């Protein structure tokens, strides 16, 4: 499922900034242990919030332009976008309820 959640620079404007629904972005990398640890929670949230919010993953090594645009210095970094703007962001391996709460606040 992780590949289905991937978003590239070419798609970012359309899928994230122009989205009618709030969007959770997980900035991650395959070599990042904490990123792998929250991966299953991110995928569960993507399924649970279908129709209410969107969830995507940005590989910081594959998409450095997106990462630098939003000042991502440490990963995992979780950003919530609403109306094309960042409305919440947190860094670190958060428990699933905290990640869900970030989205809940934007819905």
Active-site residue set: 32, 35
Please write down the long-range contacts of 94-102, taking CB distance under 8 Å and 24 or more positions apart: 94/38, 95/41, 96/38, 96/41, 96/44, 96/45, 99/24, 99/38, 99/41, 99/42, 99/45, 100/45, 100/48, 100/49, 102/24, 102/78
């Amino acid at each position: 499922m992780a590949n289905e959640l991937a978003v590239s620079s070419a798609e970012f404007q359309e899928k994230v900034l122009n989205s009618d629904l709030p969007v959770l972005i997980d900035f991650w990398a395959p070599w990042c242990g904490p990123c792998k640890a929250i991966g299953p929670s991110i995928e569960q949230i993507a399924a649970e919030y279908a129709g209410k919010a969107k969830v995507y993953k940005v590989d910081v090594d594959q998409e450095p332009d997106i990462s630098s645009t939003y000042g991502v210095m440490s990963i995992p970094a979780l950003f919530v976008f609403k109306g094309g703007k960042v409305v919440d962001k947190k860094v670190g391996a958060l428990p699933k309820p905290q990640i869900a709460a970030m989205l809940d606040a934007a819905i």
